[in-house]
Structure formats: structure tokens, C-alpha cells
Structure 1
Amino acid sequence: MKESFSLDALLRENIKKLVPYSSARDEFKGEASVLLDANENAFGSPYSKNYHRYPDPLQHQLKEKLYQIKGVPTENIFLGNGSDEAIDLLFRAFCEPAKDNVIVVPPTYGMYEVSANINNVALKKVNLTADYQLDLDGIAAAIDAHTKLIFICSPNNPTGNSIRRQDIETILVNFDGIVVVDEAYINFSKLPSFTKDLVEFPNLVVLQTLSKAWGLAALRLGMAFASQEIIRVFNKIKPPYNINQATQEIVLEALQGVEQVNTWIKLLVEEREKLSASLAELDEVAAVTPSDANFILVKLIEPRALYNFLVDKGIIVRDRSKVELCEGCLRFTIGTPQENELLYRAIVDFYATDND
């Protein structure tokens, strides 16, 4: 177990001194017949279902259900308005504006850089290697006394590959700041989640989401798993009612569908491998990056022209051709078998037309 880590040494002074807002639902917990403490509308809501009461600020029922699914104790779970809320809270808790810095490893999820810019925190970029793995020497050289966070997306977006576990562990052991492992796509990978390592690494924060495999993107519910100490910091600075009641209810119901989700995951992985193999056989495809996610990054001839052709066909993919280390690439989300077939046939048609 890592023993040199000090959360207190990383926290901003104003966060240490912060007295969090105490909501009515924080002060009273339990059942009552007359609630006159939170200035709610006692007559109800102009809707078929009443939403006039404030929601549970700490989402206890949801966390209990996630504990049953994920095996992570409720005290180690933070729920946010998408993973983006947890990302922003990390900056606000640990990074002194115009003083501290964070490290990202491009190509990667763009929200880390956006949050850094919003919070006026310097961003250091250490590019992945040619095979989309961590440059450990480069990261070590970039760390200084003001480096507070290192963000690692695995499986990585937009490349789809998993980052070598041993390399992530090397950083966890040797870096005294917070290491954030973003596992938004972990459900599509055979590799184990880092949530099993929270006790061993007190400087580890694992991000996951219900937007991908669980198909709940519109509800905006993300998860952060970390030590109880870090979760307490998140809860201290988050908005009082950051997850609304309707989202809590719908997600709680959706979490009953584990078997359905597992069936979808199996099918998506099969479709991913099928589409990857089919595209790799095309002469115009230079490379298909092996993926552990629900998308594939494909290097092709004339990617922008192909992108426009697909748009005209009503097929929308992601153009990553101008992203460093992804030159000439489009990113294809894996859809239904029918959608994947439409995509493949459209690509074949484009190159056949282009060659006429």
C-alpha cells in the first residue's frame, strides 16, 4: 500500500477552511408527516407526479444499489452531473489557480483541458507513444512541485485502447498527487476496473459513467470512486442537490436491468470486432486501432471527404483527423448490427465512387 500520500498537503487552503452549505435535508433525516423546513410548495407539483420535495442530497438509495453492482462501499462513491462534475470538483479542490498544474496524455478526452482552462490551471501535455501508451519518462520529467493531478483515460478516448495497467500502477506508486483513471468505457473491456485498488492507492480516483453501456446519457449521471477522505471533499464542495429526484428514480429503476445491459455489451463487442475486421480488409483503410471501447478509431484515405459523404447519407461519425497522433482518422461508434452494416456499405460505396 502507498504510504507517502498526504491528502491534506494537496488540498487548497480555502477548501480546508470551507464550511459547506447545510441544506434542510442535511439537517433532518428520517420520516415526518409535516415538512415545513425547506420552503417547498406544500401543494405539490403541476405534473402527474409530485416533485415538490428536495431530493436526497447524497443519493443513499442509488449508492446502495451501485454497491451491490460494483462492489464498492457507498462511502467510496460520489455521484455527479456526469463525470464532468467530478472532473471540475477535482480542479476546484486540489488546484490553486494560476499556481498549480495538471498533466494530461493526448490524444485524450477533451474535457480535462476545458476544466483546466475554466479553473485557470496550467495544463502540461505529455503525448502518448506511437502505440497509444504512456510515455512514463516524459510524465516523470513533467511533474514538478505544483503538479496536483494526472488524468489517464483507459480505455482511451479517442483511440479505444486500454493503457497498460503496470504503467498506471507505476505512476500511482511514484506520484504523490492525485491520479485520475477515467474508465468511461470499462464495461466494454475484459480488463478489471481500478475500483478494486482503492485501498492500495489512496491517491487514486476512478471515474465511470452510466452514459455508455447503461444507455443513460440523457440523465447525466457520472460516478467517482475514491477513498472516503476524497469523497468527503467532493461532498463538501458540490452543490447541495446536484442529482435531481427524477434522475435518481429513473436510474434506480434502470439499475435493475443488469442482464439486459450485459446482453447489449456482449452484442456491441461482437459488432465491434466484426466491423473492425471488415474495415481492415479494405485497401483504403490504413489502420484500425484495437479497441476495448464501444467505438473504433480508423485511419483512412481521404477522411474528411468520407466524413462529408457519410453526413450526406445521414450517417454521423466523429472526425478526429486533425487531432495529434490521430491524423487521417475517423472515430466510429458501434451501433446496432443494421447501423453498422449501413456504415460499412456507405464506406465501400464512397471508395468505389471515388475510384470510378
Structure 2
Amino acid sequence: MFDLQNILRPNIKTLKPYSSARDEFQGEASVYLDANENAFGSPLEQQYNRYPDPLQFQVKKRLSEIKGVPPRNIFLGNGSDEAIDILFRSFCNPGTDNVILVPPTYGMYEVSANINDIEIKRVPLTAEYQLNLEGIAEAIDDRTKLIFVCSPNNPTGNSINREDIETLLANFKGLVVVDEAYINFSRQKSFIQELTEYANLVVLQTLSKAWGLAGLRIGMAFASEEIIEVMNRVKPPYNINEASQQLALQALQNIDQVNNWIKETLSERDKLVLQLKNFDFVLDIYPSDANFILVKTTDPRGIYNYLVSNGIIVRDRSKVELCEGAVRITIGTPAENQKLLETLQTYQ
């Protein structure tokens, strides 16, 4: 049975978080003389002389309305990368514990594990890019604290079988982290709806993809109130700046615009797949539930370099395990996709 206290690092159990001036006072006041700010303002039209809300209440309130999850179950990070790092720092003892990764997958899990001196156990996906449940079960030991599953997966683009993820959640005594950065482009429903069912579930999402806010660096983690409380203790006090909070709040009012972009992206993805199949150097295009496609080619490096020389940047993934020969292509605007196709027509 899952028990959060059994996997929490001892020093985090007793950690007294930094208490900022804004943590100690809740509400509104007319005179703020508590945080050593510049009371005269800032040299910008928009005033940023005051520290931001450390727990981003207004943004979480709006996200709660959109996602159907109480604000207390939401963590906001400086990109999803901060949430990933905080999970390692909260639950994994350096030099002792381990994490299971299922390559090919998002590279920051490995980077963050290495930064935090956490052993990595790799259990590659199957040839169909699905979980090897038997291999994962064999890899788990008493020091395994986290399992990361990216769905839809990056760089392959496919969704992971829901039943397999549920099997992990039901049987693993650590945290299962389901990274749903690309969920807006998928027909698969989010695991957010399962938070009350699985106490060891953490769902990552982002405003960087479908919402078009990559420059603001706002990632989201959804989990039990107990897990969110831990993450809030460990995070820096003002991890989301005031400008990002204000702009995110504005963007979150424009759901219709985002939904239209998603529809157009999916339409463009289907068109691009059909056109790319006509090229002799394209061997396969893997099914995608994301805003990108993984394309197996006869000469990935040559194609990559040729596109770069023509001002088009894609991602060479040919050296990634199980992605040999492949390039990853993000779905662009109709004009950008057309330029890609026209350029590939001249590739020899």
C-alpha cells in the first residue's frame, strides 16, 4: 500500500520552508513595509516593484475552473522542469535511491536525475513504443522512488496504453509521474481525473505547448494535497514571477483561441503526414497524438543538415534509443509546413 511518508526524504519531512513576507500576511493592505521592496515603483509602465504571490492563487483558481481540480491539488513551477527537479529533491536520497525511465522519452528526467545524483534504471519501451511492464516490475527494488511515463510520449508521439499506466499505479509503492505535456493534442483523456483514485499519482502538464506560452515558463503538477504541500515547501518562495502570472491569467481567458489552434494543428499534422509519405527517403511515419511527428528516413543527418542550410530547423533523433534513422518534425503553420515540403522536394 502506498504511504507518502515511506518515500519522503527524512530531511524533507523535517524541513522548515523559507517564510517570505507574503507568506506571513494574507489579504490586501494600503501600506506594505514588510519585504524591503522599492516603494517608489519600477522604471516600467507596468509596476513590478512588489514581490509576486508565492502560491499563484489567481492563476491556480483559473486553472481549477478549466481543469476541474481544486487549487490545493495544483503546483506551478518555472516550467515542468522545476516540478521534475523538486520531485527528485523531495523523494530521492542522493547516491542511494533510484528512478525508472522508459526510453525513448523526454531527456530532462535523466538530466535531473544526474544532477541530483540519483541512479537511473532504464527499461526501454517495446518495439510498439509501449511500456514493458514485466521489465519494469523486475527493475523495481526497495530504493525505487519514481517512475516517469511521458504520454503522449516525446519523441515518439504516441500515447501509452492507459491500462498499463493504471497497472503501475496500482502496484508500485512509489510515485508514478505521468507527463502530459502534449495531452491537448490527444484523444486520450487526462489522468488528472484519476487523482482521487491513486494517491501515488503525479500528473505534469504545461502552458508551453497548446497554450503557446513557452516563453513564460509555466509548468503544472497535479497531485494529492499531501504531495503538493511537499512540493510547495521545497520550491523557492517566488518561483513564478509577477509578469508570467499576469500574462498567464490573461491567456487562460482565451480557451476558444487555443482550441482553434489545436484543431488546425491536428489538421496540418494529417496533411503533412500524407505529403511526406510521397518522398522516397521517408521509410515510416509513426502514429502521433502530439503536435509533432517522428519520421524514419534513409539519411536523417543528411536531411537535417540540408534543412538547416535552408533555414528550417527540425530535430535529429537518430541517435536516440529505438529512434534510429528518425527526425522529429514539429507541426508548424500552413506556410511553414509548405516551405518544409517544398524544400524537401529539392533534397537529393
Q: TM-score, normalised by structure 1?
A: 0.97
Structure 2 distance, partners of 1:229, 1:165, is 24
Does 1:333 pair with 2:330? yes
Structure 1 distance, partners of 2:298, 2:286, is 15
Q: How far is the alpha carbon of 1:349 from its aligned partner? A: 1.6
Residue 25 of structure 2 is matched in structure 1 by 28
Give runs of aligned pairs for residues 129-278 of structure 1, distance below 5 A.
Answer: 129-278=126-275
Q: How far is the alpha carbon of 1:27 from its aligned partner? A: 0.5
Structure 2 distance, partners of 1:103, 1:153, is 12
Residue 6 of structure 2 is matched in structure 1 by 9
Structure 2 distance, partners of 1:346, 1:135, is 39
Q: How far is the alpha carbon of 1:348 from its aligned partner? A: 2.2
Structure 2 distance, partners of 1:304, 1:31, is 58
Please say which of residues 155-164 and 280-289 is displaced more in the overlay. 280-289
Q: How far is the alpha carbon of 1:347 from its aligned partner? A: 1.6
Structure 2 distance, partners of 1:149, 1:8, is 14
- The residue identity in structure 2 corresponding to 1:76 is N
Q: Deviations over 1:55-79 (max 9, x none)?
A: 1000000000001111111010000
Residue 297 of structure 2 is matched in structure 1 by 300
Structure 2 distance, partners of 1:198, 1:29, is 28
Structure 2 distance, partners of 1:33, 1:284, is 67
SS at structure 2 position matched to 1:163: coil
Structure 2 distance, partners of 1:348, 1:159, is 24
SS at structure 2 position matched to 1:207: strand
Q: How far is the alpha carbon of 1:192 from its aligned partner? A: 0.2
Q: How far is the alpha carbon of 1:342 from its aligned partner? A: 1.1
SS at structure 1 position matched to 2:38: coil
Q: How far is the alpha carbon of 1:112 from its aligned partner? A: 0.3
Q: 2:345 aligns with which of 334, 345, 348?
A: 348
Q: How far is the alpha carbon of 1:220 from its aligned partner? A: 0.1
- The residue identity in structure 1 corresponding to 2:14 is K
Provide the aligned C-alpha RMSD in A. Answer: 0.7
**Structure 2 spans left out of the alignment, 5+ residues:** none
Q: How far is the alpha carbon of 1:345 from its aligned partner? A: 1.8
Q: Deviations over 1:218-266 (max 9, x none)?
A: 0000000000000000001100000010100010001111000000000
- The residue identity in structure 2 corresponding to 1:286 is L
Structure 1 distance, partners of 2:342, 2:318, is 21
